[in-house]
Amino acid sequence: MARGIDEPWIAAAELPAELGRKWAHGWKDWFGPQRLELPRAADKPWLARVETPLGPVVAKRARPAGWKRSLLALGARRSRSERAFRLAETLRLRGFATPEPLAVLGLPRDSALVMRLVEGAGPWEVVAGRMSRAELVTALAAGIARLHGAGFRHRDLKASNFLFATGGPRPELVWIDLDGLAWRGTVEPHVRARDLARLCTSFASCEARAAGVRADAWPELLRLYLEHALGREPAEEELEQLLVRTRSWSDRNIRRHLATQRPVQ
């Protein structure tokens, strides 16, 4: 790790110091008129693809405002970029797939997290190509159960916050957006249900239906999730209770999106 007063930054051990200093001085240019868009995030100006001597990387900018910015200036709050860097390190140590974090630049306030670019496809893209619907549901159920079992919850568990890396023989679930991730030690049943409910909304999206994901995929995902989480076949009452809780929250969420004319995703 490296950190300076005039050049505030945090870096992975393998990042060359000179490259880190260069990034620390010029990272804001990545988000200027010449910003390179990410294929899956053209509408997100806070994300940029950057070509570097280490290969392509992704930079994610965080620009807090109001009281959050004031707390950062006082050192009373950790930046979102630094928090994601630490979470990514922890996930990787626990054996979870997530882009390798390389640096946090611009601390303490306007900052950017730099990660290696992972080539992959979103769930609805990959199910239309390299995975069957059954394989997708199985992979997601096992991956989320493992995440919860390791003590992590993800309150923004939507389709755009993970992808399937397609560089290997089989697509691998990769967690790419850690803003909604937190370590709790023990993830209580009501928290698990809330996490899953957000994904239920994604399963009801037009993109999911266009990819051929039918309505019956959600109950099957919950059944497999409970099987992994409990270590046994779930009772009918357990499955029904989780199904009702996730769909109830998801239905309310969808109504809010439609009322404010936001896309359901």
Say whether both 133 and 30 belong to one domain.
Answer: no
The tens digit of pLDDT for each residue in 27-64 reads: 999 999 989 998 777 788 999 999 999 999 999 998 76
**Could you give the count of Cα atoms lying within 13 Å of 79 in the half-sphere of its Cβ?**
23
Residue 148, burial from CB neighbour count under 10 angstroms (0-12, 13-18, 19+): buried
Whether residues 196 and 70 share a domain: the answer is: no
CATH number for the domain including 202?
A: 1.10.510.10
Q: Which amino acid belongs to residue 159? A: A
Q: How far is CA 39 from the centre of its chain?
A: 16
Angle between helix 217-230 and helix 133-149 axes, rounded to 10 deg: 40
Asked if residue 1 belongs to a domain, the reply is no
**Mean pLDDT, rounded, for 142-168:** 93
Residue-number span of the structural domain to which 43 is assigned? 9-116
The model carries a pTM of 0.89
Q: What percent of the chain has pLDDT over 90?
A: 68
Q: Which residue has the tokens 């989780």?
A: 242
Is residue 127 over pLDDT 80?
A: yes
Segment 210-248, tens digit of pLDDT:
999 998 999 999 999 999 999 999 999 999 999 999 999
Tell me the residue ranges of DSSP E strands in 205-251.
Answer: none
For the chain, what is the total number of helices (H) and then of strands (E)? 9, 10
Number of domains the chain contains: 2
Does residue 265 lie in a domain region?
Answer: no
Strand partners, 115: 58, 101
Q: For 75-79, 132-136, 233-237, which range has the lowest pLDDT when averaged over its residues?
A: 75-79
Q: Are residues 124 and 194 in the same domain?
A: yes
